[in-house]
Each structure stands twice: as C-alpha cells, then as structure tokens.
Amino acid sequence: MADQMRCLLLICDGMGDRPVNQLGDKTPLEAASRPNFNALSGGGVNGIMDPIAPGIRPGSDTSHLSYLGYDPYSCYTGRGPIEAAGIGMDVRPGDVAFRANFGTVDDGMVVKDRRAGRITEGTGELAKALDGLEIDGVEVIFKESVAHRGALVLRGEGLGADITDVDPHEPGVKIHESQGMDEASKKTASVLNQFVRISHDRLGELSLNAERVKNGMLPANIILPRGAGILEPTPSFLDTHGLRGAAIAEVGLIYGVAKILGLDLIRVVGSTGGLDTDLEAIGRSATDALEDHDFVMCNVKGCDIAGHDGDAGAKKDFIEGIDSMLGGVMERAGEHSLLIVTADHSTPVSIMDHSGDPVPICIHGPGVRVDDVSEYGERSCARGGLGRFRGIDLINIAKDLMDMAEKFGA
C-alpha cells in the first residue's frame, strides 16, 4: 500500500467568518497569526467552497455528508438518526430515530421543564425502564446521552418519519399529540404517542425520581422526542468510493455521520469538544490514522463554539492553536499525502450562528496546480486556482488527485 496516496481532510468547524470591526475589519482567521496555514496555501491550490450551495446555511451534519460525497438533499431526513448513531446506537435503514430530552411534566401533561432540571445523573437507569418495549409490533430502543439528552429509535415494518413533534419546545404548554402526514407516518405517530404516555407512567414510578423530588429537584418523568428522521439505505463510504475511511471528531453529531457511512471512529484522549481541547493530540491521531486508512476526516470543534458565543478573540486564539497543530500535521503527513484544510461552514461572530458564506479551502499535495495565493483566509483563497465550487464535489476532486477516480466515458 506504500504507493497509494492518502488524504487527510481537516475540517475546522465553523471557522469561516465575516469581517469583524474590532479586528480591523479582518475575519478572525485573517487576524490570526497563522504561519502554517499560510505555508499550506503557499504550497497548495486554493479556493472557496459552498458547503451545500451558495447562500445555503449548512448544518454540520449536512455539510459533512456533502464533503463525503453524499447529497444531503436525498439522504438526510432529519437529525434523529445521526444523533442516535452518534451515541453508539445501531440505526438501520427503515428505522425512525429521534433526539429526545428527559423532561418534567405535571399531571396535566403540561411541560414544567424541557430538561428535567438539567438532570446529569441516573439517566442510564431511567433509560433502562424504557429500552426494549414493544408497541403495536414496533420495537422501541432508547439510550441516554449526555446530561438530559437521549435518543429514541423505533424499528418495525412500514414506518414513516413525516410527523409532528411531541416536544412543544417551550414550558407551560401541554405536550403535543404527534400527527403523521401519510399512512406510514401515522403509524409512527401512534406508536410515538403511546411511547410518550408509557414513559410518563414508568418514569414517574421510579425511586430515582422520588429521590429527586425529596431533594427539591424536578423529576425526569417524561421523554420528549423531536427531530424525527428515517435512515435511508446509504451505501458505505468504502463501497461508494473504494477508500478505507476513518473519522476523528469531538461531538456526537459528526461521529453519527461517520458511523452511518461506516467510517472507523477514532476517539482521542484529551479531546474535549471545547476551546480547551488537546489539539496536538488530535493532530497526532489524525496522522497516525493515515497509516492504515486511505482517507481520514478530522473535525475540530472550537471555532464553532467561539462563533456561537460571538467571541472574536476566542475564535482567533483557537485558530492560532489549530495553526500550531497544523505545523506538526504537515511535517508528519509527508510528501505522499493529500492535505485538505477547510471548514464545514461559517459561524460568524456577528451572527452567532451558522451562515451561508462560502468557506476557504486549500488542497496541498502531489500534482496540485500550485497557485500564487500565499495567505490562507476567506478572501485570499477566493483568488486561488480552485475558484468556487460546492462541497458535494470535494470528494471527487480528492479522488482524482489520489488517482482513484473512475473515468466516465472513453
């Protein structure tokens, strides 16, 4: 395998931004000291990329699907299946999956708290009381996640995912009866409504909740599912592209995308998903993974968090941390690797949420048409040799440079 080119795709979550007044009308990326980013751009070919399409505000899940060559408009039906896969649940084609909260309702099913007092302990025990139920022949699989979160999978014949939420999304409101839009979805809605009632009956009886009430805490006495999605049959990354893939991430959502596509999931000790994460350890794991994979996708989360917080300084600082990590990555990846550095979307500090701005991208490695861009940034990359293209095309560009693309025609 020594001669097969490898590819490392480094995705800096939410790194793209807009000019920030307090940074002298530079973006956090442009304002950052970034010698390694700039060396990469100077030796590579640069451009800007629309994760989905111009002006479309991407989620991290939809953009990652695109970058891996899966059109999210055809394979993405909701966040549920990806969240469920991301916490290690076995989601199969045809399953309808949901994100879910442990919540608190009163006797009239009016929501007192959508997060059950931000419960942090004992949710595993609560989940056990619900996991494995069967309702109208549909199998119920439930698993707790971090804090008040969990995921629900319904498995059975003929289920649909076009249903309304049970979670009313605000306190003081009675939970909703889920409604299905078609026959298959009506079946799902009926099972879901029964499940929610059962969850209230069963959780209310548990001693853990009696204990919480005794201690002045809100009981976690209901499950509030939302974000229904059905997992479409999706060919694996290996079958689709002929590449052995691995993923390094810091949050469940990205691991969920990777798991659904059959990538090897690599967990990095010291990775926290926050601004305090161990970037050096992540970078080292990424290049280590190149040893036995053709394609390694590595997502670091920090920029997105700083963007959502509206903190330009923290974003700039985190980018400087990535720059330092990137130096080691470039050294270790060696000459026979393709190194692609980009973001999954922009999270401008002025917006404090994802935006539809394109993201900078640099491709570095053997054979690329090195251009005269010498700085890595939103505006400098726009003058590069790649021009502007869409996220869904990225994997094809990578495979072509790896000499792994099939010819279309003669």
- Residue ranges in contact with a copy of itself by CB under 8 A: 18-19, 25, 27, 48, 52-63, 72, 76, 79, 82, 227, 253, 348, 350-351, 353-358, 367-372, 378-379, 382-390, 393-400, 403, 405-410
CB of 230 to a copy of itself, least distance (A): 15
Choice between 66 and 188, CB closer to a copy of itself:
66
Q: Which long-range contacts (CB under 8 A, 24 or more apart) does 105-109 make?
A: 105/175, 105/200, 105/221, 105/222, 108/174, 109/174, 109/175, 109/200, 109/222
How far CA 75 is from CA of 78, 113, 264, 385, in Å, comes to 9, 33, 20, 31
Choice between 129 and 405, CB closer to a copy of itself:
405
Choice between 86 and 283, CB closer to a copy of itself:
86
Choice between 172 and 409, CB closer to a copy of itself:
409
Residue partners of 175: CB distance under 8 A and separation at least 6: 105, 109, 110, 111, 166, 167, 168, 196, 222, 224
CB of 69 to a copy of itself, least distance (A): 10
b/e burial code for range 259-296 (CB count within 10 A of at least 16 → b): bbbbbbbbebeebebebebbbeebbbbbbbbbeebbbb
Choice between 25 and 125, CB closer to a copy of itself:
25
Choice between 306 and 349, CB closer to a copy of itself:
349
* Dist CA 89 CA 94 (whole Å): 14
Residue partners of 2: CB distance under 8 A and separation at least 6: none
CB of 355 to a copy of itself, least distance (A): 6
CB of 257 to a copy of itself, least distance (A): 10
